[in-house]
Amino acid sequence: MEKFLDAYLERMMPVFERFPEKTGHGIASVFLAYRFGLYPKAVRECAAVLPQVPEGSGSAALKKAIAITGAYAQAFADSQVKPDQPLSFAPEERSFLAVNLPRESVEDPETLELDNALILVYAAAMISSPDDEDALEEHRKFVVIMLEAYKTALGLA
């Protein structure tokens, strides 16, 4: 799944390389705060970076990914398993996702939405925040493990 992740990052490169580094750093902060279980901080980082995401191709999908990440971070901060109103990607946003499977063909579609959100946030951060690349690289295995869960469904097993 390493190669799958590399191919996804390559595919997303033209989408997110146009982002300012400050925005990229904010996106990286979202991922890292969430990853470290700093859920209140992740919620704040999501709120701070959402208005910074520039318009253009992939921006709506990234904004949705940040919103999904923030919603789960808030739920976890409130000791809930998931948000009361889980968000999902719109059909036009799905082309920017790493794991693009029909929602009805997945056992747990809400987990798929969260996994796709985290992978998209990770990709955008890796591409647009060179200063955070080393810190993000340390969490690459986490992303690869998420992708492994969909290996069979993607026909890669």
What is the reported pLDDT for 21? 96
pLDDT tens digits in sequence order for the chain, 157 residues long: 999 999 999 999 999 999 999 999 999 999 999 999 999 999 999 999 999 999 999 999 999 999 999 999 999 999 999 999 989 999 999 999 999 987 777 888 999 999 999 999 999 999 999 999 999 999 999 999 999 999 988 888 7
pTM, two decimal places: 0.96
Interior/surface letters 65-99, b for 16+ CB within 10 angstroms, e for the rest:
bbbbbbbbbbbbeeeeeebeeebbbeeebbebbbb
